[in-house]
Chains A and B, each alone.
Chain A
Amino acid sequence: MVFNAQTMLVIVAAATFGLFVGAIPGLTATMAVALLVPITFYMDATPAIAAIVATSAMAIFAGDIPGTYLNIPGTPASAAYVGESHRLALQGRARETLGTNLVCSVIGGLFGTLVLVFVSPSLAEVALKFSSFEYFWLALLGLSSSIFIAIGSRLKAFLSLLVGLLLSTVGLDMMSGAPRFTFGVPDLMAGINFIPVMIGMFALNEIMGFYASRDEARSVPAMAKDSVFREAPRHLRAYWRNVLRGSSLGTLIGALPGAGADIAAWIAYALGKSRSKQKDKYGTGHIEGIVDASSANNSGISGAWVPALVFGIPGDTITAIVIGVLYMKGMNPGPTIFMEGGGQVYALFTVFFVANLIMLPLGYMAIRASKVFILTPRKILMPVILMFCIVGAFAINNAVTDIWIMLLIGMAAYVLARNDFPMAPAILGLVLGGTLENSFMSSMLKSNGDLLAFFERPISAGLGALVILVWLLPTLLKGYRRLRSPKTEVSHDTP
């Protein structure tokens, strides 16, 4: 069903399309999949699903290309480690970074596929045990981590997080339906979209910085010895634990309904940093930070298919579209899919393997072709990117309001970034703010306002304890160091 000319051609064409869409700032993997849906009407079930899988996997990887060369992530899933990969590119290691990134993405995707094949029913059951209480703690854990992993002042990271959270409150309140901070603008009723904010914070901020400086010194240098795959085996040997951890975490987070690849990348990056022996190297261009997160975002895509296939519940926005396509093709998602559509389900699993493996040659060609970012002078490149930013922001809802949002957020981000405010907490605040508030309010309604209900369920209590531990960790570490320091001094003094 898979290894025929039609399906293979569809996979290659869809992967190329995903590559193109993912590399443009503002165009997401979800948008690429949504644009494919009308075309899949005319396809059989297997090539239709193959097209979606290949497009989404390739778009997520392609988002790393402009992120590495220009510090502008192509898709939200690349935003977590864009600073790290761009700093590596500034050291002349752009291809090495992207090559490692590609290999990790492929491994992550294959790992997620293996999980999808072998343990999808049991994993889906665990994911379905998550109620609003667990989601609240999970969101709070992600937000708390964003402050502690931020480089520089924690107070500034906290204020940056509050900016993101404030943006997430704009729009109609989910519980009461009351409009908040909409100022009578109808386009704001549905809230602020993540994409214009991301374009403003990363792309416009970068463009403004370029024009404020008088030279072209910020461009990425080309190094003759910078090979795509030469260093990848060495990095994989050094960080194989990170690849495994990122892949498994990404699959698990991807399997949580509503989470997806973006959140998987952020949490994997945070966890990678907290467990690293070289924490101080994070933020200076450290490949370890990329390994965790790039494995996680691609495995998250496969993970999101677990609840979609087994229970018909979308794991992310892409699988929300996929469920519609599955119904359209007569593959009704649910526990019976393995009995009724056995052959097609196994064809789908094969498609996942093929789509992830085909990323290697196509991704390699894309990395080689991306030299255009080095060869093109920035005085030519930056105006072109600005135009893509304007059109990309507009394309989300076909609304001028999104261009205004991009502009205002970009200007604010420029001022904040120039004063050493980290941008990552603000982005995460916007991504997780809605989940945090809605899960809190739902939980309070369920428990009639009883706060102790957040600790009554075992998983919820465990996550809650983890959050409290993260909050207390700096104080505990400080106390621990103070206890140890006199002993060290004594040992130095005594011969």
Chain B
Amino acid sequence: MRDFLLGLLFAIGGGVVVAVASTYPTMPTLQFGPSLFPTIIGVGMMLGGALLALTNLTAMRAASRDTRGLTGRYDIRGLLVSLVPCALIVFYIVAAETLGAMLCMAISMLVLMQMRGARLWLSLVVAAVVSGAIVWLFSQYLLIPLPEGVLLPQLTLAG
């Protein structure tokens, strides 16, 4: 089932790639230009995706009587939990300019460690030490301009 859907997705994606590539200009000296390689890739995706979907359609028909067995393999809880690190990356991207890289990283690590049942005091210590070390290392030593945020500098000034 999943291979069928992925095959279908590849085929549709390939079609989109070909459609977008057809809008690119051709070069005056040659009959092709920047659209050539994307078009070849898009066609490959369409054919490969269709082949994958069709191959699995036959297998699905054979297994259609046992639909309960098929649906039972999906782990919805696992899928949702696996998305938490992704959600925390989005949180970092959105909030780092305001909260600062250090605070965002500390919050993200705390959430992830608590999710897997780490002790609270240990999570707090690791989150604080590691986020501080990363920011110091990258900002001071490797000269990467990580966002400082507006919250911590204001607190420091007020202090």
Binding site for B on A (CB under 8 A): 35, 155-156, 158-159, 162, 165-166, 169, 173, 175-176, 178, 180-181, 204, 207-209, 211-214, 377-380, 382-384, 386-388, 390-391, 394-395, 398, 400, 403-404, 406-407, 410-411, 414-416, 419, 421, 433, 436-437, 440-441, 444-445, 448-449
B57-90 contacts to A (CB < 8 Å): 75, 78-79, 81-86, 88-90
Closest 7 CB pairs of A and B: A379-B116, A173-B34, A212-B82, A383-B112, A212-B78, A383-B109, A208-B82
Query: What is the bound-complex CA distance between A384 and B88, given in angstroms?
Result: 13
Q: Which residues of A contact B159 (CB under 8 A)?
A: none
- A394 to B: closest C-beta gap in Å: 7
Query: What is the bound-complex CA distance between A386 and B85, given in angstroms?
Result: 8
Among B30, B38, B134, contact of A444 (Cβ-Cβ < 8 Å):
B30
Q: Is B153 interfacial (CB-CB < 8 Å)?
A: no
Task: Answer whether A390 and B118 are a contact pair too, CB < 8 Å, given A35-B142, A166-B41, A398-B144.
Answer: no
Q: Which residues of A contact B124 (CB under 8 A)?
A: none
Q: Which residues of B contact A449 (CB under 8 A)?
A: 30-31
Among A175, A211, A433, A445, contact of B34 (Cβ-Cβ < 8 Å):
A175
Q: Which residues of B contact A387 (CB under 8 A)?
A: 105, 108-109, 130-131, 134
Are A209 and B17 closer than 8 Å at their CB atoms?
no
Query: What is the bound-complex CA distance between A209 and B24, given in angstroms?
Result: 39
Task: Answer whether A208 and B131 are a contact pair too, CB < 8 Å, given A159-B48, A176-B33, A395-B138.
Answer: no
A207-B85, A383-B109, A419-B3 are known; give 20 further A-B pairs, CB within 8 A. Answer: A35-B142, A155-B52, A158-B48, A162-B48, A166-B41, A173-B34, A175-B27, A178-B34, A208-B83, A211-B84, A379-B112, A379-B113, A380-B118, A380-B122, A382-B112, A387-B105, A391-B134, A398-B145, A403-B92, A415-B6
Q: Which residues of B contact A207 (CB under 8 A)?
A: 85
Q: Is B19 interfacial (CB-CB < 8 Å)?
A: no
Nearest opposing residue in chain B for A416, CB measure: B6
Type the 1/0 row for B92-119, where 1 means its CB is closer than 8 Å to any CB of A. Answer: 1100000001000100110011011110
Name the residue among A207, A379, A383, A437 with the largest chain B CB count within 10 angstroms.
Answer: A383
Chain B interfacial residues counted at CB < 8 A: 61
Q: Which residues of A contact B8 (CB under 8 A)?
A: none
Are A165 and B49 closer than 8 Å at their CB atoms?
no
Report how many A-B pairs have Cβ atoms within 8 Å: 148
Query: What is the bound-complex CA distance between A415 and B78, given in angstroms?
Result: 13
Are B82 and A414 closer than 8 Å at their CB atoms?
yes
Q: Which residues of B contact A204 (CB under 8 A)?
A: 85-86, 89
Are A391 and B82 closer than 8 Å at their CB atoms?
no
Are B85 and A380 closer than 8 Å at their CB atoms?
no
- A301 to B: closest C-beta gap in Å: 22
Query: What is the bound-complex CA distance between A387 and B91, given in angstroms?
Result: 12
Q: What would 5 A/B residue contacts be, using CB atoms closer than 8 Å?
A: A159-B49, A166-B17, A178-B33, A384-B109, A437-B37
Q: Which residues of B contact A398 (CB under 8 A)?
A: 144-145
Query: What is the bound-complex CA distance between A378 and B112, given in angstroms?
Result: 11
Task: Answer whether A169 and B41 are a contact pair too, CB < 8 Å, given A207-B85, A379-B118.
Answer: yes
Q: Which residues of A contact B156 (CB under 8 A)?
A: none
Q: Is B146 interfacial (CB-CB < 8 Å)?
A: yes
- A411 to B: closest C-beta gap in Å: 6
Among B25, B78, B89, contact of A407 (Cβ-Cβ < 8 Å):
B89
Q: Which residues of B contact A181 (CB under 8 A)?
A: 20, 38
Q: Which residues of A contact B122 (CB under 8 A)?
A: 380
Query: What is the bound-complex CA distance between A391 and B48, given in angstroms?
Result: 36
Among B3, B81, B89, B130, contact of A212 (Cβ-Cβ < 8 Å):
B81
Q: Which residues of A contact B3 (CB under 8 A)?
A: 419
Query: What is the bound-complex CA distance between A78 and B34, given in angstroms?
Result: 32
Are A180 and B89 closer than 8 Å at their CB atoms?
no
Task: Answer whether A391 and B138 are a contact pair too, CB < 8 Å, given A178-B24, A209-B82, A212-B81.
Answer: yes
- A331 to B: closest C-beta gap in Å: 27
Are B2 and A419 closer than 8 Å at their CB atoms?
yes
Query: What is the bound-complex CA distance between A87 and B131, given in angstroms?
Result: 30
Are A159 and B52 closer than 8 Å at their CB atoms?
yes
Query: What is the bound-complex CA distance between A165 and B24, given in angstroms?
Result: 18
Q: Which residues of B contact A448 (CB under 8 A)?
A: 29
Nearest opposing residue in chain B for A400, CB measure: B93
- A160 to B: closest C-beta gap in Å: 10
Query: What is the bound-complex CA distance between A209 and B84, given in angstroms?
Result: 11
- A69 to B: closest C-beta gap in Å: 18
Q: Is B51 interfacial (CB-CB < 8 Å)?
A: yes
- A136 to B: closest C-beta gap in Å: 12
Nearest opposing residue in chain A for B141, CB measure: A35
- A330 to B: closest C-beta gap in Å: 28
Query: What is the bound-complex CA distance between A92 and B92, given in angstroms?
Result: 36
Nearest opposing residue in chain A for B33, CB measure: A176
Query: What is the bound-complex CA distance between A445 and B29, given in angstroms?
Result: 8
Q: Which residues of A contact B45 (CB under 8 A)?
A: 159, 162, 166
Among A175, A411, A414, contact of B33 (Cβ-Cβ < 8 Å):
A175
